[in-house]
Each structure stands twice: as structure tokens, then as C-alpha cells.
Amino acid sequence: MKFILPTIILFTLIACSRDKSEKTTDPKATKETVNLYKNLKKVMDRGYMVGHQDDLAYGVNWKYESGRSDVKDVTGDYPAVYGWELGHLEIGADTNLDGVPFRKMRSFIKDGYERGGVITISWHGNNPMTGESAWAPQEGTVISILPGGEKHEIFNGQLDRIADFMLSLKGNKGELIPVVFRPFHEHTGGWFWWGTKTPDDEYKSLFRYTVDYLKNTKKVHNLLYVYNTGTEFSNAEEFLKRYPGDDVVDMVSFDTYQRGDASVDSSYTRGLDLRLGIIEQVAAEKDKIALLGETGYSQIPYPEWWTKRLLPGIGNHRISYVLFWRNAGYKAHENEIEYYVPYDGQPSAPDFIKFYELPQTLFQKDITYAEMYE
């Protein structure tokens, strides 16, 4: 008899701790979405997944070649995380702002998911007040699109398109594909319309309104929501300045890029280490999951960047994944070359292979469908 009470207490504690670690903010999240959340936590015991934006669509000097990927050309393996971008979906376009047709994107998303890959989506949506690009901040934008604002119905129409897209992502069994959604990212900088031209409380309202509309009005239940700042913070308080609430955020993140000459400058590494430490702590305290939303060194001119600059920055921080930005190649409209993972023959390819071979870096072959979604 005397063991009954302690046993009950023990089981209650186990049940509560399990409930805590498996909870997403959407009580109606689909089974696969809840499983993904749970497994993203689990995967951190093994290391961190490696992802790449637009990986299956194009790379440096190629486009839409079935099965191709710059990551795979170099390592023989796909990334474990696939990033995609919805900019211009909100205005009803057939292709996104980088020229990727949404029809093809849907099918790439399914390919990655069926292999057990994780899908993450960003949204550089046009300014709903002015109709200009995401990079055209103007005071008053956010207030104009929130309830009571002049452009509120326009914004709802944009969210309807986002919702339709999310609900069109289906796996082989007809189940919804879970998406790690990263809306209104890099909001601590001044370049986007949801950035620092928007007062903090309006930013929070925008985030909360968006989650509420997608979840409760549009019944979208296959999303995990990421609160994703830029690099402009150096302590937890600054990081959380625009945090919209524990009830609407599943994951915490920031974006940071290596600039300048990495062969002599290690400030990127120090900054990465510092900020990962901060979000890791925030995630632990709030029972959320940390990740690195976007990073990279365009054109990787320092061939040992992967093991000498990136790797020591990530160190042993508990993050679920790191995503490298897109291999756009030559961008004629800007007369600029942009890519963040090596292609076959690029000088940093051997070092990227070293990075690939580390036990803690998880690529597609390290992740099965069952491990991520069951």
C-alpha cells in the first residue's frame, strides 16, 4: 500500500513531462505535425539537420533537372531540410518572386517529405498596403492591414492564398504535409515592411492575427510557427522584444550571414556562438525548439569556411537544424552571383564533405520518414 502514492506521483510526473515536450501550440495539429515537433526535439540528441533553400528546383548553372541538387552533387546525399519561399503567392502569381512555379514547388515539397525530409517555408510577401515588394517598408502598413484597417480585407485575401497552399500539400496517403512556417522573419532589421518601421506591439498583433486566422478561420493545422529575428540582438531580452507569445510560437530562430573576408575575420563565428547560446536558453526555458533559420557565406570564397568558421560557431548548441540560403547562381536583374552551398568543383566542396561526414550533421540519409513523422 505504501508504494501506491509514490507510484501515482511518479506516473503523473512522467505523463506531465511527456505532455509538455510533445505539445505544439495548435491543439488541433495533425498527427504528422505533432510527430514532427516531437521528433525535432528528439533529433537534437543526435545533432542537427542540415537544410538548403530551393534545393531541388535549381542550383548554380542548372534548373529543374529531375532528382538534382547541388548538395547531392557534392556529397551524394540530399539535405534533411528543404526550404521554400511563398513570396508573390499572396498576389495570385503562378511563380514565386524567384521564378519558381508554385505547381513545381508543391511537387518538390512532396518529394522531400516522402523521403523523410523536413519542409520549411518563408514568405517575402509584397507590402499589402502599397503593393510594392517586401523590401518597401512604409510606416502605417501593419496597422492598415490589421482588423479595422483600410487594407484589412486585402490582407485576409492574401492569407487565404497562403492557407490554400498549405492545405494543398499532401503526402501519398492524402495526409497534410507538416510545414515549419517562418513568417515575418528578420523583423529586427529595417528592410522589410514588417521590420523596425513597425512598432513592437503592432508586430506582435500581426503575428498573432496571422496565426489565429490560419488556424481558426482557415482551419490550417499542419504548421509549426517560428519566431525568427535577424542578427540584431545580443541578449535574451533583445531577442524577445517582439515575441508574440508562447501560445503562438513553436520554434525560435534568427538569421545571420557571414560577410567580409572570412579567412581573417572570425566575428561571424563569435556572433553565431553567442546568439545560438541565447536562443538555446530561451527555447529551454519556454519549452520551444531552437533552429538557425538562414545562414551562409555567399560564394564561399574561403574554402575552409565550413569547418573553420561555421562549425565552431554551432559547436554543441542544441538546435534542430541549420538552413543555408539559395544557390541562385547568376542573378541577371542584380548582376550578382549568389550561392551558399558548394556545387561540384567549387573550391569549398572538399571542406563541405568534411562537414557532411561529421556524426552530428544530419543529412537525408540520416533521417527516415518513420523517424520524423511517426
Joined together, the cell numbers standing for residue 211 give 496565426
Site for ligand BMA, rule CB under 6 A: 85, 87, 97-98, 124, 325-326, 328, 338
Q: Which residues are catalytic?
A: 186, 294
Residue placing its CB nearer to ligand BMA in the complex, 133 or 307: 133
Return the number of the residue (100 or 349) whose C-beta is nearest ligand BMA: 100
At its nearest, how many Å lie between ligand BMA and the CB of residue 189?
A: 12
Least gap, CB of 295 to ligand BMA (angstroms): 12
Instruction: Report whether 166 contacts 220 (CB < 8 A).
Output: yes
Nearer to ligand BMA, 338 or 371 (CB): 338
The CA R_g of the chain, rounded to the nearest whole Å, is 20
Beta carbon nearer to ligand BMA, 32 or 85:
85
Least spacing, CB of residue 119 vs ligand BMA, in Å? 16
Q: Least separation, in Å, of the C-beta of 92 and ligand BMA?
A: 18
CB of 122 to ligand BMA, least distance (A): 7
Longest dimension (CA), the chain: 78
Residue closer to ligand BMA, measured from CB, 309 or 326: 326
Q: Which residues contact 17 (CB under 8 A, 6 or more apart)?
A: none
